[in-house]
Amino acid sequence: MKPVNIGLLGLGTVGSATVDLLLANAGDISDRIGRPVRVTHAAVRDPSKPRNCDLTGVEMVSDPSELVSHPDIDIVVELMGGTDLALQLCTQAVNAGKHLVTANKALIAEHGNELFAAAQASGVVVAYEAAVAGGIPIIKAIREGLAGNRINSVAGIINGTGNFILSEMRDKGRPFDDVLREAQELGYAEADPTFDVEGIDAAHKLTILASIAFGIPLNFPAVFTEGIGNLTAEDVSNAEKLGYRIKHLGIAEQTPQGVSLRVHPTLIPQSQLIANVHGVMNAVQVQSDAVGESLYYGAGAGGGPTGSAVVADILDIARALASAADQRMPSLGFLPERLKNLPLLAIEAIESAYYLRMQAADQPGVMAEVTGILGGLGISIEAIEQTEPAQHDTQATIIMLTHRVIEKQMVEALQQIEALETIEGAVTMIRVEHFNTRQSS
């Protein structure tokens, strides 16, 4: 049977791993779909760069816009990253009637609505399994496997680089920059690693997860994002002593008041499975009405796991080529005209428990002032600890865990506490999640 011809945009970490995988498992791939898959064309930025894969029979194209409309290509696979040229080329590809596979979460989160509309008009598929959580087939699990459920929340460790950094800092006491450099060398990090560290990459992925879980249009600007760059070794160690672990979580939740979309460092009890996801591994926890809680775990970044998702999408499309366009899976799993514009919850309106750390003058009455402010705003304290000041130091450290409260109340309390003459500098606040107390809407 006629082979499926692939045109690849990009032969970096994911592109070269995809070529390798298509060659290594060519027999099984052909047995699964009844025809071979071959990469016929590829475009890169620097054609003189040596590549980590066998490019025998692959025509290198200097102009990527020539590749995306090449008559011999069935599926364009975009693995170059970025949102400007990538959007232009992907739009050109779908307008030319090419099916599209991409690992580019920034592209889907920021421009997916328009790209999906263009693909629908052209009767082609845009597949993006590789964009979220690397080797975990989480798009398929939510969009297809849980299609009979109403999903209440999705929460996960969805950036491998960030989790690798936090794990190495905690387990080996390694400095942040050193671990980030290693993540870059291992091919985990984004071209601009601030996307990993600041939570932008996780926010892109959360945008996608929320849309397929709740049936809402992609809305990247609605995600509240806080990075891991300001986390201190002291907070990591305090969390451990209190029986918690700090993870960088993406949380999408449907509440009776609206949908909350947020990425931030979070204390999780060490007893939770998700607190024990280390290194580059990702995990996504889904709360849905029929199944209850389910957890999906696997490598979150790197060439092999991501290439695996790219190849799976290629095979899905190869099968879909035989079906009518209106019989195919809608891009977000819901019919585009049935997507709902649900109200969105501002971060001040979420409910959470909190970890607080502050420097206080070592003198009588300070603790009473602080707890008085919290109590006055209806914030109840779950645990409190004051560490003795070091010799010659006049400052003590106060660490607290609170019960759940609306964030607006906590922000108000922090303003009042920071205004106290006995409190030095800013109070550190990190949200705490227990998951079992999560309310279904």
**Which one of 117-125, 182-190, 214-222, 369-377 is the stretch in contact with ligand HSE (CB under 6 A)?**
182-190
Interface with ligand HSE (CB under 6 A), residue from 189, 213, 263, 366 = 189
Contact pattern from residue 35 through residue 54 relative to ligand NAP, giving x for each residue in contact according to CB under 6 A and a dash for the rest: --------xxxx--x-----
Give CA separation, 54 vs 39, 165, 318, in Å: 11, 32, 23
**Which one of 39-47, 189-197, 242-250, 390-398 is the stretch in contact with ligand HSE (CB under 6 A)?**
189-197
Residues of this chain, 303-342, that bind ligand NAP according to CB under 6 A: 306
Residue 45 binding result from ligand HSE, ligand NAP, none, given CB thresholds of 5 to 8 Å by partner type? ligand NAP
Residues of this chain, 130-149, that bind ligand NAP according to CB under 6 A: 130, 134
Size of the site for ligand NAP (CB under 6 A): 28
Interface with ligand HSE (CB under 6 A), residue from 10, 137, 199, 300 = 300
**Which one of 111-119, 185-193, 269-277, 405-413 is the stretch in contact with ligand NAP (CB under 6 A)?**
185-193
Tokens of 92: 């050109």
301 binds ligand NAP (CB under 6 A): yes
In DSSP terms, 251 is beta-bridged to 155, 262
Q: Which is nearer to ligand HSE, 156 or 300 (CB)?
A: 300
199 binds ligand HSE (CB under 6 A): no
CB 430 within 8 A of CB 242: no
**Which one of 188-196, 309-317, 366-374, 396-404 is the stretch in contact with ligand HSE (CB under 6 A)?**
188-196
Enumerate residues 6+ apart whose C-beta is below 8 A from 426: 418
CB contact burial 410-429 (16+ within 10 A = b; e otherwise): bebbbebbeeeebbeeebbb
Interface with ligand HSE (CB under 6 A), residue from 196, 253, 316, 351 = 196
CB 128 within 8 A of CB 108: yes
Q: Which is nearer to ligand HSE, 116 or 195 (CB)?
A: 195
Q: Phi and psi at residue 383, in whole multiples of 5°?
A: -150, 150
CB of 219 to ligand HSE, least distance (A): 20
Size of the site for ligand HSE (CB under 6 A): 11
369-372 — which CB contacts under 8 Å span 24+ positions?
369/420, 369/422, 370/398, 370/417, 370/420, 370/423
Residue nearest to ligand HSE (CB): 161
Interface with ligand HSE (CB under 6 A), residue from 301, 373, 413, 414 = 301
Q: Which is nearer to ligand HSE, 160 or 199 (CB)?
A: 160
CA distance 385 to 364: 15
- Our CA angle for 24, 28, 32, nearest 5°, is 140
Q: Which is nearer to ligand NAP, 91 or 152 (CB)?
A: 91
Enumerate residues 6+ apart whose C-beta is below 8 A from 167: 278, 279
Contact pattern from residue 159 through residue 178 relative to ligand HSE, giving x for each residue in contact according to CB under 6 A and a dash for the rest: xxx-----------------
Residue from 140, 205, 241, 247 carrying the catalytic annotation: 205
Residue 15 binding result from ligand HSE, ligand NAP, none, given CB thresholds of 5 to 8 Å by partner type? ligand NAP
Whether residue 105 lies in the annotated active site: no
Q: Which is nearer to ligand NAP, 208 or 267 (CB)?
A: 208
Residue 161 binding result from ligand NAP, ligand HSE, none, given CB thresholds of 5 to 8 Å by partner type? ligand HSE
Interface with ligand NAP (CB under 6 A), residue from 191, 325, 368, 390 = 191
- Our CA angle for 228, 232, 233, nearest 5°, is 120
CA distance 78 to 283: 25
190 binds ligand NAP (CB under 6 A): yes
Residues of this chain, 95-134, that bind ligand HSE according to CB under 6 A: 134
Q: Which is nearer to ligand NAP, 105 or 264 (CB)?
A: 105
Catalytic residues: 205
Q: Which residues bind ligand NAP (CB under 6 A)?
A: 10-15, 43-46, 49, 64, 79-81, 85, 103-105, 130, 134, 187-188, 190-191, 301-302, 306
Q: Which residues bind ligand HSE (CB under 6 A)?
A: 134, 159-161, 188-190, 196, 201, 300-301
